[in-house]
Copies of this chain bind each other. A is one copy, B any other.
Amino acid sequence: MHRSKVKVATDVLDANATIARTNRADFDRAGVRVVNLMSAPGAGKTALLERVLIDGMGGVRVGILEGDVQGSLDADRLSALHVPVTQLNTDPGFGGECHLDANMVRSAMSELALDEIDLLVIENVGNLVCPAEFRVGEDARAMISSVTEGEDKPLKYPLMFRACELVVVNKIDLLPHLDFSLERFLENLDRVNPGVEHMLVSARTGEGVHAFAGWLMAVAHRGTRGEATRV
């Protein structure tokens, strides 16, 4: 009788966690580190990855798994930079799923050319809610928050800002044209995820992008066992 009180949602997340661990084991065996990159739509995930790949990743071989409801616009942009890109569309779900889950990533596993890369960046579907709820087998999670979205976003989407070990603040080239207080944004961020690492960048001008590239390279060089930051 106790079982009848367990919510379906919990079961969904349990099943997801099981598959995420399997994905993680496969990535580990291949020696590939994985970053789950999340943001609202239009925050600049693809633009930032483009800039990082153009500037170079110090010999780290990068692959991309591109999550979208439909189409392959971002995958096409990134393929032009001569990195292996796999497109994963979520529209077989009803109307399109708003996030990637571990099983979707699993279904793409055989396409990922893991023996040719050191680091897989999974560009999640643009959404500040559900992607934070589903681990996919990643080593690290980063999210991008653009200054055009407003100072209040950490307070409105706390799970997303808490789920990450890095918050990239993008579009800082627009700060002079916005009513946006960076100080207040960082205060709000500190309220929901005290001490979380953050960096200020502009994918458009390139400012600060080297710091994000450095963070990605550091993840790529993490070992596969015993790190406190890995779950």
Interface residues of A (CB under 8 A from B): 7, 9-10, 12-13, 40-42, 68-71, 73-74, 93-98, 125-130, 132-133, 146, 148-150, 152-153, 155-159, 171, 173-174, 177-179, 204
Contact of A70 with B156 at beta-carbon distance under 8 Å, contacts A129-B98, A149-B41 already known: yes
B159:A96 contact, CB within 8 angstroms: yes
- Secondary structure class of chain A's binding surface, majority of residues: loop
Contact of A94 with B10 at beta-carbon distance under 8 Å, contacts A41-B128, A125-B129 already known: yes
In whole angstroms, what is the CA distance A128 to B156 when docked?
16
How many chain copies does the complex carry?
Answer: 2
A69:B157 contact, CB within 8 angstroms: yes
A126:B40 contact, CB within 8 angstroms: yes
**Which chain B residues border A130 with CB–CB below 8 Å?**
95, 98
The smallest beta-carbon distance between A174 and chain B, in angstroms, is: 6
